[in-house]
Structure 1
Amino acid sequence: MIRPIHNVILANERDVVNARQRARSIAASLGFDHHEQIRIATAVSEIARNAFRYARAGVVAFNIDLHRQMFLVSVTDQGTGIPHLDTVMSGSYRSATGMGMGILGTKRLMDEFSIETNRSGTSVHFGKALPRLATVVDDLQLKKVVAELARQHPATPIDELQVQNRELLKTLNELNERKEELLHINEELQDTNRGVVALYAELDERADYLRRASELKSSFLSNMSHEFRTPLNSMLALTRMLLDRMDGELTSEQDQQIRFIQRSAKELAEMVDDLLDLAKVEAGKLEVKAKSFDVADLFGALRGMLKPLLAESSLNLVFEPAHELPALFTDEQKVSQVLRNFISNAIKFTPRGEVRVTAQLKNQCIEFAVADTGVGISPSDQRIIFEEFGQVENSMQRRVKGTGLGLPLSRKLAELLGGSVTVQSEVGSGSTFFFEVPLVYSGAAPPAENALPVLDPDKKLVLIVEDNRETSFVYSRYLATAGFQTHAVTSVDDAKAFIVQMRPAAVILDLLLHAETSWNFLRELKGASNPIPVLVMSVTDEQHKIYGLGADAFLLKPFQPEAMIAQVVKLTSEAERPRILMIDDNEVSRYLLREHISPTLYEVFEARDGREGLKLALDLKPAIIFLDFYMPDLNGLEVLKELRASAELKNTPVVLHSTKVLEEDELKFFRENTIAIFSKQSLTLPDSAARIRELMDTLAQHTRTDA
């Protein structure tokens, strides 16, 4: 929907002035403010003056794109072109008749800019988006702009100079006013800064005090861990040796005493572990490793883990079925730790009856409940049990000792996962502890982000598998500017679920996700019957393993946006894939080599002997030929001579792929014929896939250079 507005033919210097005046007038009619009018007029003047100065003639065309609401300008000439355009665009060119900054300056002033030049002339196209607050320009509005332009008379150089002088004076006045405003604001800021500096100094002092206190606490706990665990581990090991009768038999009294010592050592070890976990939660250093798991599987693991606690008890431990519940995406180890604390406490303080563990779906959360038929807890004591080292005095408490840290730690772990812990109990009637945890851990994968995107049929879809949201956002923004649409997920499970419903044109994959690695996912993607192109972007520089698992491209973080866009464009290109021809009589060798060549980048053909290879080469015109040396009928040397004698195939890159150890004269012959050598023994090396990728990229580059 591009509509013409006005054309100016550049026949003399006055026409350059007229083009500037027309540009400013049209910009004013389209609603641009004073400063934007000057920028547009300056850009048109610079490019028009270049066209007249170097080509002696040209045409300035003013247009508008109604669909995009964009003011467009084209300046074309039929001169000899710009031989040093790259130097000009880099900003390093210095013209003999000026600074050589007109083209580059115009690019900076405008929203869109492109230039095409050859020996037949130069075309410069640039545009400026219409102001958002202005009235939307349609055909009716455009007619008014054209009519108003027709009523105006072309300006003389003197008239235009006077206009420019007025614009300059107005700009200078505005600058002086802003300078005075800045001076006033700076004075106010200086006064404010003095107060802020004093406040920050006090805050820094307090923060430093808290930091030192936190460091002292962490240092104490770390030292305590080492100092306590070393003798405790020794005590546990020694008591185990004695109880195993390694130094002879024990009396029944000695056996009982040693078991008391062993039990006390275990209780102390548990207390040290709980203290350290509490300190980590308070310091914010306890990491949440979210992953997907089923409640039924969790119950199965807990049943086997806690079974030894029932060895000397008549209690029944019942886990109700949980097969109908949706999967949880959170930290399985921490959920298990909370439930273990609840269940072990229930077993300790329930002399008879049962302990029942249930789970149900409740408001996008899973609510676990551990109910017992034990002694119960009075309402006044229900607050104490969640305080560190808080314990309730009763007959069971005197018989069964605990650390008083399990329940406080459980509450903090639940809050860390975004959940909560509550209790309902009555003395003599048992207790029920509830643990409610969200289906999806909020810090890992909000469900809203996993909603399927609304696809634009004109844009290719790229799936980004990256656990860092900022990195995914950067990828998406750069790819959007290149004409792609994206969808980001943070885990392998989400990526698999997405691919089942939508097939992306390519996948950008990070290898080290938050709670998992994606090596197996890469292997699955490339092992499928219809593989999806994969660009691996990671801090892990294991190219031999990355390419060995079938990745089509690899970039090391931190990355260059241009490199990422170029790789995605290459992987999603609908152009015909370059053809690779393998001429080898050994089926195993052909299979191994094929496994190292990306099927999404190349189309691979096989020939079982030299004659079949020559026929296929003439029919297919391959981009690269892999050639074995030892073959029946025609060997590799004879096939190569036939290839080089063919006018159609003499320049085709050839790679000698053989087990033969070449003699000096053979090496000389292959070098003279520019033959690359990649021995079959190289396929056994760990980085063989990366080596083949590098070889083929080099050959492809040479082919493009020769063309």
Structure 2
Amino acid sequence: MAMSSKSWPIVTVPIENESDVVAVRQRAHRVAELLGFDRQDQTRIATAVSELARNAFGYAGGGRAEFALDATAAPQRFVVRICDEGPGIANLQTILDGQYRSTSGMGLGLVGARRLMDTFSIDSKPGKGTKVEVGHKLPGRLDPWPRAKLTEIVSSLKKETSSDPLTALREQNRELMQSLDEIRRREEESQQLNQELGDTNRGVVALYAELDGRAEQLRQASELKTRFLSNMSHEFRTPLNSVLALSRLLLDRIDGELTSEQERQVGYIRRSAESLLELVNDMLDLAKVEAGKAEVKPVRFSVASLFGALRGALRPLLTSTSVELLFEPLQDFPPLCTDESKVAQILRNLISNALKFTEQGEVRVTARLSGDEQRVIFAVRDTGIGIAPEDHERIFEEFSQVQTRLQKKLKGTGLGLPLSRSLARLLGGDLAVESIPGQGSVFTLEIPASIGEPDRESLAPQSDTSKCVLLIDDDETFRYVLRQIVGNESRYEFIEAGGGEEGLKLAREKRPDVIILDLQMPTVDGFTVLQQLGADERTGAIPVVVSTSMTIDATLRSRLPDRVRLISKNAISRESVSLFLRDAVQSLT
């Protein structure tokens, strides 16, 4: 392991006693300073080199430290080589793998030096000594050192060496043989200092190891959180969807009229279920984004149509006549190509928040293009209570809520804004806020105007032909809801099965025109039912609509045949059922 022919030597320091370990550290620190390293790098280099010098003295009885500048590297590299002629290291790989600890800490010294420096190499054979070379790149802000200028540093170091009190004392002791008490005192001081430096080095190495461990713990905790939320999605959503569906049946008066008091009670039930489902959906969406599993589906759409949909959806939130919701008209605004549902989700969250915290005035929504027309900038401006500067970042933390005089009157989970910022960054943009207490707030969403080719999904023509519908679902409540909706439609014959095995039997016997299928069922699940339906010539051509509480994403779609249509149980209503039944049977009419 020889230094490169273009490595320019600077200085060599012998390692013969413990005080030399200190001298090596001081020399490494001084050379790093002269070469232009900042204070932090000077400390890192000196710490690594002194730990290696301490190993050479402690295990090999001494050696030498060679300092040089590697001119072949780009950028140039400060190189230190520690050589000894000791017994060598028999268990070298075990030490480098971090699996060996000696009582004096040699394993920590080698591993710590490797972490602190940019480059590290070691050559050690039993009985033939050890050579360790470490290097640190020169700061990029510096010009390369010419050979002539480096010579000036070498000369300066020689002058400093001759005036170094510790070195001068060592030379005087060798020449004049001062008294044994003086020599012993100097050695004790040097040993104490060396021990302190060794403890410091071990502390630095232990800190690095602890940080690595904490980072791994955080990664595992994040994975466990995501896995838990994903696994619990069905258990959370199924009962909530059932509550929503049943309340919709009552409000639609399918089984008769309601009194005004009953209607109010059912409305409370439905709003509570919707709030809880919104919380569950936000938690799951946030977990998917953090886990990198959220899918971006670009489509081409106009900002005018987006604003129109938002205006209609959010107008019911205007509970006070003293607040206006305004969407500035757009003229000649080019279409966007991004994930429309995620953009709408972000803006819907921002507008609803603005309406909650604005007692009078207006909430104004605008859109404009950046100067190069490559990005679109949405702004939601309100005249509400505003947000203090110290809370501008805290509102984007999960479950964080700023305490205000309106907060006690309003309900929220503190997930909306963190999710909105995560979705904005997923789309290649960001979400920011400007606000002054008492003067309102402006939330700005900036995203690319185009992020790829849009998905093309053809809309099938509708059909009103009388058809037989088979529902296969183990959830008795959901079967009841569908039975009430579809059973009241005279153009549909409705049959149902409480499990996959019974559903397959009815499908082969009745040959229905449409099958509505749940995926998560005991014994025979929906995936198995789909496979057996497709393999049987009697049922292979029957259209299948999968209704599920599972998260509908690319992973789920990849497990299903292309011919299968997916719909969330959360979206079930009289209108949606009629629509997807017509779409499913259109190929048979």
**After TM superposition, is the score higher than 0.5?**
no
When Rg is computed on C-alpha atoms for both structures, the one with the higher figure is: 1
TM bin, normalised by shorter chain, reads 0.3 to 0.5
TM-score (norm 1): 0.33
TM-score (norm 2): 0.39
